[in-house]
Chains A and B, each alone.
Chain A
């Protein structure tokens, strides 16, 4: 069995928690509205007269996720702390790693569901033209991993505090740093006074540089490894935080 029974039970509970509250519906509706708005109104999907996704649809995901995913992740641990249920959870025969995995998988699965619901964009393109479906595939793959990475950051900040607002803000700021470190205007600015190797190193940590290749339809295993290790690292940080301060 790949995941333990405890992990599955926790994932199931978290999944239920999203759909028991308005969070899930509000998130899905806003995500779909905004991605539709940016794709069709801002990027001019129709006007461009090209059946392609990378410049119109996937382009916006890092920015949408920047705000929306911290909102999904902020409650994961902060709420457990605030309502003291963390004391129940961590006195059950479950390791913190299993609990983290359960929560992460549930929240990630939820984000993937929201992302899959954007399928009409693909259908529209297929109906109107002959899009490169390979780009759609790598784009979705990149977007899923990007979402996971943001979620890892949000989970980490959620573990730090019992205040969801603080968790949200810190997650947005960290996410912004991870975007901006590879954002051309910022790298240009940095290269003015930093050696090139440093600029490249900083940019290599950015979501942007790795997401862009996938967004353009290039499936590079290194990018997937980057995102997987980003998720792994953030979950590890969460584990360290919970290990040291579960009680307060």
Chain B
């Protein structure tokens, strides 16, 4: 449905997007992750045709966004960053305007505007001018214009930014509801959101894609995946020696020792599951286990590993 090929965008001497390629199909909810300034918005703006790529191509439903911009845009609903909207118009007028821009006429205009308002729960602010709306309503008004024409492709740039937890949930539910029959790409820097909504995540750093996988398999790349946190009654040295003797253990980190208890993090070789072996070992030593927890891996860690290293490298280059 969306094909992005070798996309490059230069702003002056700075390369904002560097050879990005991916493909997204119906039913996929693609989370676009990355630190601020990584190139998420720039990539989305190129897919929507708002800015022209320096090189590379994007096609949406077979229409090249640079060569056939108008055709490509009819397939897309777009929520830009910070939800811009005409402040002097009321929500109702704004959505009617957008309906006309989408080619509706006559009664359809009001029908589509009404529908969009209902789906985004903003009917109550129908006659308020947009400049008087709170951030959450404004965001949803802009969301409403994006889904008004029931587009097969939705591109949402930080749709939950600045919303309170309830409003975030509303937006996430809307995304999940529509996920089945659409292609949805949304950017965020809230990692829990990726877990909650996406079935695929792309991490972008310094304009490059550094990871492209399902959130679960991304999490598996975490250093902590299948690591075991355990607190036992033992001395740090004894605990380290005992757990290190398990063949599948790569490393034992003593995190905290207090009184007669010690808390360790045990990292497995090749991310295999070692929880039972660790517990068996503790039992054979006749230690009392007061706490045990197997790590599912954290997206945060993967995210940090993938994006931080480059930042650090850049800082180092600057110093040199």
Contact indicator B84/A9 (Cβ below 8 Å): no
A21 to B97, CA, bound (A): 18
Q: Smallest CB–CB gap between B90 and chain A, Å?
A: 9
Contact indicator A83/B100 (Cβ below 8 Å): no
Chain B 44-63 interface 0/1 with A at a Cβ cutoff of 8 Å (1 = within): 01001111000000000000
A93 to B68, CA, bound (A): 10
Contact indicator A87/B84 (Cβ below 8 Å): yes
Q: Smallest CB–CB gap between B14 and chain A, Å?
A: 13
Contact indicator A85/B93 (Cβ below 8 Å): no
B71, B73, B89: the one contacting A20 at CB < 8 Å is B89
A16, A88, A247: the one contacting B84 at CB < 8 Å is A88
B80, B86, B88, B105: the one contacting A91 at CB < 8 Å is B80
User: Which of under 10, 10 to 19, 20 to 34, or 35 or more describes the interface residues of A?
Assistant: 20 to 34
Chain B 85-114 interface 0/1 with A at a Cβ cutoff of 8 Å (1 = within): 111110001000110111101000000000
Interface residue? B70 (CB, 8 A): yes
Contact indicator B102/A13 (Cβ below 8 Å): no
Interface residue? B243 (CB, 8 A): no
Q: Which residue of chain B lies nearest to A96 when distances are taken between CB atoms in the complex?
A: B69
Contact indicator A93/B87 (Cβ below 8 Å): no
Interface residue? B82 (CB, 8 A): yes
B71, B89, B98: the one contacting A16 at CB < 8 Å is B89
A246 to B48, CA, bound (A): 13
Chain A 173-197 interface 0/1 with B at a Cβ cutoff of 8 Å (1 = within): 0000000000000000000000000
A10 to B69, CA, bound (A): 18
B51, B74, B86, B88: the one contacting A247 at CB < 8 Å is B51
Interface residue? B233 (CB, 8 A): no
Contact indicator A17/B86 (Cβ below 8 Å): yes
Contact indicator A247/B101 (Cβ below 8 Å): no
Chain A 1-34 interface 0/1 with B at a Cβ cutoff of 8 Å (1 = within): 0000110111011001100110000000000000
Contact indicator B105/A247 (Cβ below 8 Å): no
A10, A17, A247: the one contacting B45 at CB < 8 Å is A247
A4 to B13, CA, bound (A): 39
Contact sample, A vs B, 18 pairs, CB 8 Å cutoff: A17-B89, A20-B88, A83-B84, A87-B45, A88-B85, A88-B142, A90-B50, A91-B50, A91-B78, A91-B80, A92-B98, A92-B101, A93-B102, A94-B70, A94-B101, A95-B70, A246-B50, A246-B51
Q: A91-B49, A92-B102 are in contact. List 14 more A-B contacts (CB 8 A).
A: A5-B100, A10-B101, A13-B97, A17-B86, A17-B89, A85-B85, A88-B80, A88-B85, A88-B145, A90-B50, A91-B50, A91-B76, A92-B98, A93-B73
